[in-house]
């Protein structure tokens, strides 16, 4: 039977506060644009000497865009995704920010529960939902985007219009 993981509970508010804390610690607290590639290539390796980044080819990722492995502390980003993020592709910037959510919130000692694949997992305990909320908050903090239009957010933060519209709902 296939299983899914259930993370310790985290509210949207707690994740947003944590994402703001991470931004501040990384020195980008008040910046609208997050230099996501610089963060994974330069900033995180300076503060975590065990952190590794890998850029395998598409056929090596088994249908995944990126993933974070806490056991090896490795962020694997499919090569085409990495290159697109280098060119500020909004979707791929979000993908990498999502994986950073796993890096910052879901380490190897996190107390995950295993449950059947068909089991109901409330969103606040779903590690994927948590990583999505982190990515959105990390790229578009509500204290910085409040009062902006979705188009302005998308342009300033280099995110998709759809992500900006969703972020505005919670700002």
Cβ proximity of 89 and 64 under 8 Å: no
Instruction: Give strand ranges (E) for the chain.
Output: 3-6, 52-54, 66-69, 74-77, 113-116
Q: Is 76 helix (H, G, I), strand (E, B) or coil?
A: strand
Taking the C-alpha atoms of residue 42 and residue 72, their distance in angstroms, rounded to an integer, is 18
Q: Say how many CA atoms lie within 13 Å of 149 toward its Cβ.
A: 3
> What's the rounded Cα separation, in Å, for the pair 6 and 125?
6
What is the distance between the alpha carbons of residues 97 and 24, in angstroms, rounded to a whole number?
Answer: 15
Is residue 31 domain-resident? Answer: yes
For residue 155, the Cα-to-chain-centroid distance in whole angstroms is 19
Confirm whether 64 is domain-assigned: yes
Q: Looking at the domain assignment, is residue 11 inside a domain?
A: no
How many structural domains does the chain have? 1
5 falls within a domain? no
- Crossing angle of the two packed helices 127-139 and 90-105, in degrees rounded to 10: 120
Which residue from 28, 65, 56, 67 is spatially nearest to 44, judged by alpha carbons? 28
Residue 22 located in a structural domain: yes
Structure tokens at 51: 């952190």
The rounded distance, in Å, linking the Cα atoms of 113 and 98 is 21
pTM exceeds 0.85 = yes
| Residue at 142 is within a domain | yes
Mean pLDDT for each 10-residue chunk of the chain (171 residues)?
A: 82 98 97 98 97 96 94 97 98 98 85 81 93 98 97 98 96 89
Predicted pLDDT of residue 127: 94
Q: Confirm whether 8 is domain-assigned.
A: no
What local confidence, expressed as pLDDT, does residue 23 receive?
98
Domain interval for residue 74: 18-110+119-169
The strand pairing partners of 129, in sequence order, are none
User: What pLDDT does residue 121 have?
Assistant: 87
9 assigned to some structural domain = no
| Contact status, residue 150 vs residue 29, Cβ threshold 8 Å | no
């Amino acid at each position: 039977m296939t299983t899914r993981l259930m993370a310790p509970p985290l509210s949207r508010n707690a994740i947003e506060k944590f994402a703001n804390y991470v931004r501040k610690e990384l020195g980008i607290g008040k910046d609208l644009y997050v230099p996501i590639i610089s963060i994974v290539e330069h900033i995180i390796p300076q503060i975590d000497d065990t952190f590794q980044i890998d850029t395998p080819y598409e056929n090596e990722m088994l249908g995944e865009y990126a993933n974070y492995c806490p056991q090896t502390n490795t962020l694997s980003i499919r090569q085409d995704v990495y290159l697109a993020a280098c060119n500020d592709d909004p979707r791929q910037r979000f993908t990498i920010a999502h994986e950073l959510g796993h890096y910052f919130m879901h380490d190897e000692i996190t107390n995950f529960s295993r449950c059947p694949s068909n089991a109901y997992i409330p969103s606040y305990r779903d590690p994927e939902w948590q990583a999505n909320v982190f990515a959105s908050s990390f790229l578009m903090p509500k204290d910085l985007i409040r009062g902006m239009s979705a188009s302005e957010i998308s342009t300033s933060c280099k995110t998709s219009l759809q992500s900006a519209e969703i972020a505005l709902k919670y700002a």
